[in-house]
Structure 1
Amino acid sequence: MVIQYKCPNCGSDMAYDSESGHLSCPNCGRQDDIETFPEMNIIRKFDPDEAKEYHCENCGAVILTEAETTATHCSFCGAPVLLADRLTGDLAPAKVIPFTISKEEAVAAFKKWTKNGRLTPRGFTSGDRIKKMTGMYVPFWLYDIEGKADVAALATRVRSYTTGDTIYTETDFYDVRRELDLSYLKVPADASEKMDDELMDKLEPYNYGELKDFKMPYLAGYLAEKYDYDDEALFSRIESKIVPYIDSYIGSTISGYSTVSYTQKQIHTNKKNVYYTLLPVWMVYYDFDNKEHTFAMNGQTGKVVGKPPISAFKVIAWFTAIAASTFAIVKAISFAVGGVFW
């Protein structure tokens, strides 16, 4: 099924506007609330014989997509279309965080970010090198986790004191037990096979207070994908994500000792709730030195992640400056204490 939102004024295709939070018509400027958009202006077409081939209601062009795509544009007329049969049933997202950063704002923020790289080549920050910037909703699973930790440790407190000419060391030993109930809310893991997990992790945090119940109009004008991995397949990744935080919390409850040696540490985690969620990401493809560099921007907060190229010349200059500064400081200290420094 292909879904398109037609402007009640002029019949043009409407798309979601990140600034107003409404469906917006690029032709006449009309804006409509998603909740009250007229049903008669939602065009749906479904051909049961078509599996992965769709047709644009505007120009009739064939829309061929990858199996994971749920929202895209017509390659011929540019109209935003939603592939609704890939957004229903088990594939229906529960939540969505809409884009709050427009494409123009994203471009400006990215250009500003490139200028903050002290070790990037000079040419990297000059000129308009953005090859492509794509706004897309990436599928995530958000997990509410309940956990229990059962911990046993042998701890010591060491005290030294002097009596006369004798130094005494006194060591007290303690059996330490901790039984902890833990909970973590909205722990994210991206569920798209083609997205780089490390890149997606670094886009965090999102403001989950802005989560909304999923509605298809939020996707109009953007790309979107359905999940490749279900929540069971990604749970081990979530466990590996939260265990360091659990370890840190356990450590914070056993303080004031000279040494702590764990004799038992059992951590159990369970899923309480899982939410299939679409999160906004601007993907930025940047040309430099005959190579394409890929960056990602959080479509809600504007946070940019990626690895810019490093200038060898700037690195050498940076280390040279540090060495020169260190030499000057050491020389000054030497003269201050009356020594001679060569």
Structure 2
Amino acid sequence: MSQTQYPCSNCGANVEFAPGTTVLKCPYCGAETPLAPTGRHIREHSYAEFAGLPRKPISALAPHAFTCQGCGAVTQSDKISDRCQFCGAPLVADVSPADQVVPEGVLPFVVDRSALREALKGWASSRWFAPNSLKKVTAAESSHSTYLPHWTYDARTVSNYWGERGDHYWVSETYTENGETKTRQVQKTRWRPASGVVSRDFDDVLITGTTRVTTQHLDKLEPWPLPESEPYRPEYLAGHDTLRYDVEPENGLETAKARMAPVIEQDCRDDIGGDEQRVQQVQTQYGDVTFKLMLLPVWIACYLHAGHTYNIMVNGRTAEVVGERPYSAAKITLAIVAALLLITAIVVAIAMSK
């Protein structure tokens, strides 16, 4: 397997992509190497053509075997980019379209360690009833920058639906209350069959391409500024981890269709009209389906408290922070006691005023 390392033209050390810039920077002497434009463009790929190609499942691929050009050590990893386990030099694999889907685009890191520290500091300070040790997470030294694989899907959909339209109307109803006859207006609904056809074009439906990160948290980092993405080039990966996808494109497409379904159903309801709608069946045809593999930047931090590990993720473009947090039993207890004392004081004050 071939790989790429980028030596510094000044001191010979390995350079890394500097977040928020368009240069590779040496972490030792500070020398910078500008990234010249490649002239490439991000393209969508026909899913129908891809589905007809012979290929191995991603799970059958062997780990990358990196040979560090600096110290000569051999490192095995299933990541596209990693660091040498011995000298820490950044390593980037040359991915082959014969083995796996090659990334089409990358959203380069903008948030550097300094901005990460500020984001984590703001997040930690806003956590009510968090233990004081949570402030340790703001150090950010234990955090690592990682590009996470995501699939995007485009599709032209045409959906036939069957359901019912409900229109409200009012009737007068008499009733007896305390021996007195009264009249009131009661809402009723008149239902009638409804059917039709709706169409919608979907663009860049984003699906996580890795099972190594909790989707529940990763989804909260959205929206991603995908229009700011750059055509894939391995230089953006230097100095950052990059996970190889383990969600096959076929599975990603099924998840994308599940994301499209509620949007299509709402289109059906809008088309039915009326005051209420019942959508009983929807049959959707997907045309001109295209897809691509994108790499999105995430800072990942781990925080240990009371023997439990909490995961925190930071959007590498927007500095949005999401993750788990512990609670301080002592702070919660003090808050409850303070609240009880305040209530007692108010009750005493009211009693004395009488």
Taking structure 2 as the reference length, what is the TM-score of the superposition?
A: 0.76
Which SS does the other structure have where 2:36 is aligned? helix
- Once the two structures are superposed, the pairs formed by residues 294-305 of structure 1 within 5 Å of their partners are 294-305=311-322
Equivalent residue number for residue 7 of structure 1: 8
Higher deviation after alignment, 307-316 or 112-121: 307-316
Which SS does the other structure have where 1:26 is aligned? coil
**Does the C-alpha gap of structure 1 residues 36 and 279 become closer, same or farther in structure 2, counting only changes over 3 Å?**
closer
1:24–1:32 CA contact under 8 A, matched in 2: yes
Give the distance between the partners of 1:151 and 1:293, measured in 2 at CA: 45
Which SS does the other structure have where 1:35 is aligned? coil
Which SS does the other structure have where 2:211 is aligned? coil
**Does the C-alpha gap of structure 1 residues 326 and 97 become closer, same or farther in structure 2, counting only changes over 3 Å?**
farther
Taking structure 1 as the reference length, what is the TM-score of the superposition?
A: 0.78
Residue 158 of structure 1: CA displacement? Answer: 2.7
Q: Structure 1: state its 5+ residue gaps.
A: 38-49, 328-342
Give the distance between the partners of 1:321 and 1:180, measured in 2 at CA: 58
Q: Does residue 1:30 correspond to 2:34, yes or no?
A: no
Equivalent residue number for residue 90 of structure 2: 80
Q: Deviations along 1:140-187, whole A, 9 cap, x unmatched?
A: 111113322222332232333669986676765544334211122111
Q: Does residue 1:158 correspond to 2:168, yes or no?
A: yes
Which SS does the other structure have where 1:92 is aligned? coil
Equivalent residue number for residue 225 of structure 1: 243
Give the distance between the partners of 1:256 and 1:18, measured in 2 at CA: 52
Aligned residue pairs total 315
Give the distance between the partners of 1:323 and 1:238, measured in 2 at CA: 51
Give the distance between the partners of 1:149 and 1:105, measured in 2 at CA: 46
Q: Deviations along 1:186-229, whole A, 9 cap, x unmatched?
A: 11222223222323222221111111110010001111122222
Give the distance between the partners of 1:20 and 1:316, measured in 2 at CA: 47
Residue 281 of structure 1: CA displacement? Answer: 1.0
Equivalent residue number for residue 193 of structure 1: 211
Equivalent residue number for residue 330 of structure 1: none
Q: Find 1:143's aligned residue among 143, 153, 172.
A: 153
1:149–1:267 CA contact under 8 A, matched in 2: yes
What is the letter of the counterpart of residue 292 of structure 2?
Y
What is the letter of the counterpart of residue 142 of structure 2?
K
Which SS does the other structure have where 2:143 is aligned? strand
Give the distance between the partners of 1:181 and 1:242, measured in 2 at CA: 12
Equivalent residue number for residue 123 of structure 1: 133
Residue 307 of structure 1: CA displacement? Answer: 1.6
**Does the C-alpha gap of structure 1 residues 90 and 312 become closer, same or farther in structure 2, counting only changes over 3 Å?**
same
What is the RMSD computed on CA atoms of the aligned residues? Answer: 3.5
Equivalent residue number for residue 69 of structure 2: 57
Residue 101 of structure 1: CA displacement? Answer: 0.6
Q: Deviations along 1:297-322, whole A, 9 cap, x unmatched?
A: 11111111212113345556778899
Give the distance between the partners of 2:206 and 2:93, measured in 1 at CA: 25
Give the distance between the partners of 2:266 and 2:341, measured in 1 at CA: 40
Aligned-pair identity in percent equals 23
Q: Structure 2: state its 5+ residue gaps.
A: 39-61, 175-181, 345-354
